[in-house]
Amino acid sequence: MAARIAGVNIPASKHVSIGLRAIYGIGPTLSLKICDTAGVPPTRKVSDLSEQELEALRSAIADSGYTLEGDLRREVSLNIKRKLDLGCYEGLRHRKGLPLNGQRTKTNARTRKGKRKPIRA
């Protein structure tokens, strides 16, 4: 039985504190805080949770007041789009596909820049 919380299937074979991290916007600290609020031991496997415990987790997440999943993705993409439209430094770096925070680009930055392109003379 796959537990479904906040529109995401939580991996059944993992501990609750680790499985909750599958939800976009929940990290290690927030996951432990949610487990504590719901009264569920963080080391319990997701597959071993009862329906009452799942419901307690769902309500703890809903009451946490944090922006999660679709709303958070939308918010982040709107922030990036706003910077692109403004034409500010960060927006230009987004547009060019380069790192934003002053990292070096002569070497490294392959994640942002993509595969190396050969130089044509």
Q: What is the pLDDT of residues 55-105, one digit of tens each?
A: 999 999 888 888 888 899 999 999 999 999 999 999 999 999 999 998 999
Residue numbers of the domain that contains 82: 69-113
Same domain, 59 and 7: yes
Q: How far apart are CA 70 and CA 24, in angstroms?
A: 8
Asked whether residue 84 is assigned to any structural domain, the reply reads yes
Fill in the amino acid letter for 18: I
Residue 100 lies in a domain: yes
Average pLDDT over residues 23-30: 93
Same domain, yes or no, for 36 and 57? yes
88's tokens? 């500010």
How does DSSP assign 75-113, residue by residue?
Answer: HHHHHHHHHHHHT-HHHHHHHHT--SSS---SS--HHHH
Proportion of the chain above pLDDT 90, given as a percent: 59
In degrees, rounded to 5, the angle at the alpha carbon of residue 112 between the alpha carbons of residues 108 and 115 is 75
pLDDT at 121 over 80: no
Cβ atoms 37, 43 nearer than 8 A: no
CATH code, 87? 4.10.910.10
Tell me the residue type at 106.
K
For the whole model, what pTM was predicted?
A: 0.77
